[in-house]
Structure 1
Amino acid sequence: MDDFNLQFANHPKLEQLKQFILEHGTYAELKKGEQFSTQDKVNRRGAYIENGMFRYTRADERGNIHIVGYTFSGEFTGSLCTLIQPDRPSLVTIEAVRDTRIYHIPYSKLEEFFAANAETMQLKCTLVEQSYLLMYHRLMDIYCKTPAELYLDLLDRCPDIQAYITLKEIASFLGVTPETISRIRRKLEK
């Protein structure tokens, strides 16, 4: 699954969507820690990440924060739930891990673009299909790969990720303890 997110974002059919967002979206620079979307609030926009990184987190009923995903330069970000059902709140908070440059666009403008013709409607289908495949692959990886394999996959996707996030965050994302990540790192150094 190396670079699956990048393959998803660079899907040939999605190039037209990327170009539409670059041409009709609004350029913005988000500072490290700034939120693009907030859990349980309706997020009415999506974005193309020109340069940077976002962390997806979800707070559980006890107030514990879980890191459930990342998106990187050259990828799309936003609340798929809201894109599919306009009044549905976001399931996650999307926060800049470092200073990040994006082009964001209201979902209403995207819907107008998608509704223009059969070809652009197919782009929405492709976007949803690719998002589903991304999530399905992630689920399969959680069940079928070792923590070491998951850690290596993360490093393959973003080799410099350790410069931006803590060991505790990596552990949360992979569903293991920080001690497990420390052991994996020590083994890799040998």
Structure 2
Amino acid sequence: MSDLKEFVSRMNLSEELSGIFMEVGEVVTLKRKEYFVRQGEPCRYLGAVLDGELRFSYCDADGEERTIAFNTNGFATEYYAFMNHVPARYSIEAISETVIYRLTYKQVIDFYEYNMEGQRFGRHIAEQLFFRRDELIFSFRCDTPEERYQKLLKVVDTSMNKLTLKDVASLIGVTPETVSRIRRKLLTDGES
């Protein structure tokens, strides 16, 4: 419960709305490799990651799986599928034991509609998801692979060891061999 209180304290909600938020959902623990959302299935929950790490992945028609995002804190869901009641376009999987505070669609909508502060908070969540997507698009269009790798290091910090070389390569849009070259170059540049 202390993880949830800490998470809620970072949301800058009034004491009243913080209390309501902490009452509506439930805390669940996902084991490593357990799915929070599965591609092609309904997305039933919005989750607040209290502890642990999640990997977002997409599997194409040829069965090729690509890591598209990584999350250690904040909210996690396939927002489009969640809000529109359609099958998820990607999966969200725990890459370590992960504690999530989850809310159903009805719980989220009721929370948003509780008062104007709830409405602003709902808009804030949607804006943050948009900002992350906008940053990702910008990075893939404007940054070099090395710059994308360095940005990833800043985001995942110590959790980088839980990602495979293939995950890292997929996240920054290069091959695993390119990631190895980038790492060697950064080590060499760091020793100079």
TM-score by length of 1: 0.86
1:117 to 100, 110, 115: 115
Q: Does 1:149 align with 2:162?
A: no
1:118-158 residue CA offsets vs partner (Å, 9 max, x unmatched)? 22122212211221111011100111111111111111111
Unaligned runs of at least 5 residues, structure 1 = 1-9
Aligned residues: 179
Equivalent residue, structure 2, for 1:187: 185
Which residue in 1 is equivalent to 2:169?
A: 171
| Residue 160 of structure 1, CA deviation | 1.9
Q: Take 1:127 and 1:113, find their aligned partners in 2: how far apart are those partners?
A: 13
Structure with greater Cα Rg: 2
Following the alignment from structure 2 to structure 1, what is the Cα–Cα distance between the partners of residues 162 and 177? 19
Distance apart, 1:166 and its partner CA: 1.0
Regions of 4+ moved over 3 Å? 10-23
> What is the root-mean-square deviation of aligned Cα atoms in Å?
2.1
1 CA distance for matches of 2:51 and 2:122?
A: 23
Counterpart position of 1:80: 79
**Residue 81 of structure 2 contacts residue 89 of structure 2 at CA under 8 Å; is this kept in 1?**
no
Whole-Å separation in 1 of the counterparts to 2:147 and 2:14 = 29
Stretches of structure 2 lacking an aligned partner (at least 5 in a row): 1-9
How far apart are the structure 2 equivalents of 1:88 and 1:67? 21
Shift of the alpha carbon at 1:83? 3.4
Percent identity (aligned): 30
Superimposed CA distance per residue, residues 69-128 of structure 1 (whole angstroms, 9 cap, x where no aligned partner): 11113x11112013321x211111000011111111112111111122222122212211
The TM-score, its normalising length taken from structure 2, stands at 0.85
State the structure with bigger RCO (CA 8 A, min sep 6), 1 or 2: 1
